[in-house]
Amino acid sequence: MGTGHDDAPSAVRVRRLEERLIGAGLATDAELEAVLAGLYRNASPLNGARMVARAWADRHYAQRLLADGNAAAAELGFGTPGYRLKVVANSPGRHNLVVCTLCSCYPVSLLGPSPSWYKSLAYRSRAVREPLAVLGEFGLALPPGTEITVWDASAENRYLVLPARPPGTGGRAEPALAALVTRDGLIGTAAV
Partner 1 sequence: MSLPPGTRVRARLADPDHHTRLPRYVRGHTGEIIEAAGEWPLPDDVARGISPPRAETVYSVRFPAAALWGQGTHHVVVDLWESYLEEAG
Position 128, amino acid:
V
Near partner 1 in 104-163, by CB under 8 A: 128-132, 147-157
Q: How far is the CB of 72 from partner 1 (least distance, A)?
A: 16
By C-beta, is 85 or 177 nearer to partner 1? 85
By C-beta, is 12 or 133 nearer to partner 1? 133
Size of the site for partner 1 (CB under 8 A): 20
By C-beta, is 42 or 63 nearer to partner 1? 63
By C-beta, is 57 or 150 nearer to partner 1? 150
By C-beta, is 31 or 130 nearer to partner 1? 130
Q: How far is the CB of 92 from partner 1 (least distance, A)?
A: 17
- Return phi, psi of residue 191, to 5°: -70, -35
Label the pairing between strands 147-152 and 157-162. Answer: unpaired
Known catalytic residues are 100, 103-105
Query: Of residues 86, 119, 126, 172, which one binds partner 1 by CB under 8 A?
Result: 86
Q: Residue 119: which of 17, 10, 2 has the closest Cα?
A: 10
Which stretches of the chain are DSSP H helices? Answer: 9-23, 29-40, 45-57, 59-67, 69-75, 108-111, 121-126, 131-137, 174-178, 183-187
Q: How far is the CB of 10 from partner 1 (least distance, A)?
A: 19
Q: How far is the CB of 135 from partner 1 (least distance, A)?
A: 10
Q: How far is the CB of 159 from partner 1 (least distance, A)?
A: 9
* 63 touching partner 1, by CB under 8 A: no
- Asked if residues 97 and 187 have their Cβ atoms less than 8 Å apart, the reply is yes
3-state helix/strand/coil string of 12-64: HHHHHHHHHHHHCCCCCHHHHHHHHHHHHCCCCHHHHHHHHHHHHHCHHHHHH
* 10 touching partner 1, by CB under 8 A: no
Burial of 127 (0-12, 13-18, 19+ CB in 10 A): buried
The residues of the shown chain that bind partner 1, judged by CB under 8 A, are: 84, 86, 101-102, 128-132, 147-157
